[in-house]
Structure 1
Amino acid sequence: MTFTLDNRFQDKESSLTQALRQIQQLNSRIQELEQHHQDYVRSQQNLISAIAEICISPIQEVQALRILIYRGEAACQQYLRSLLVKQCKSPPPISTRRSISTAVLMYNLCCCSICSSCSGVALSRSTKII
């Protein structure tokens, strides 16, 4: 009788320990997902800020947002790079030019193998706009 009670107690204890371990694993996974989500939101906010800075016209901004929504972050970054290259080749009129910080951003992000206006700042393929 004592052996049976001890055995039942051990079974309950092991199932509780197992449940506790599973809860800890789930909590760990939840924290990981929350961190991933925060990183994603921050990335999207930075990309939207870049869209506002780089795009000269509202039409370009709408197009960039459409690309972001329907084709994703990488396609949007590619579109913004293409805008920067076009802006380096033929700068916009003074009335539509952005701040000096944007000009520096454009200078640093321009794909210099295509753009002849820059003095040779090379970018690797892994360089991100943000």
Structure 2
Amino acid sequence: MSRAALARAVLRGLLKRCPKCGEAKIFRRWFTLVARCPRCGLVFEREEGYWTGAMAINIGVTELMFVVALVAGLVLTWPALPVAWLLAITIALNALVPVLFYPFSKTIWISIDLLLHALDERELLRGS
């Protein structure tokens, strides 16, 4: 996997675009991904349990944001730590980030999965 391909895949994921053709209209609403790309016909859910990778990405980003907020809060307020404020901010982040990042985690996962596991003939025929 080349760096350019990985960068393109992650960029398309961050822009909520189809990883194969770059089509932008793959979500009906914030949480509702269409079954297949309207332009190239790529079926997004490749197998049962497919979204486990997207869930792992979402959890990773959420925990990263938690750690960044906690460390920033500790560094900025040391030694008089406002524990209640830090707790409230980190709990709010842990509640909001997964919801806001949800569609991006799905499109990033689709892109990375396509880089790691190319479409087979059956999937190419199903997408036509």
| TM-score under structure 2 length normalisation | 0.32
Query: Greater CA radius of gyration, 1 or 2?
Result: 1
User: Which is richer in helix?
Assistant: 1
| TM-score under structure 1 length normalisation | 0.32
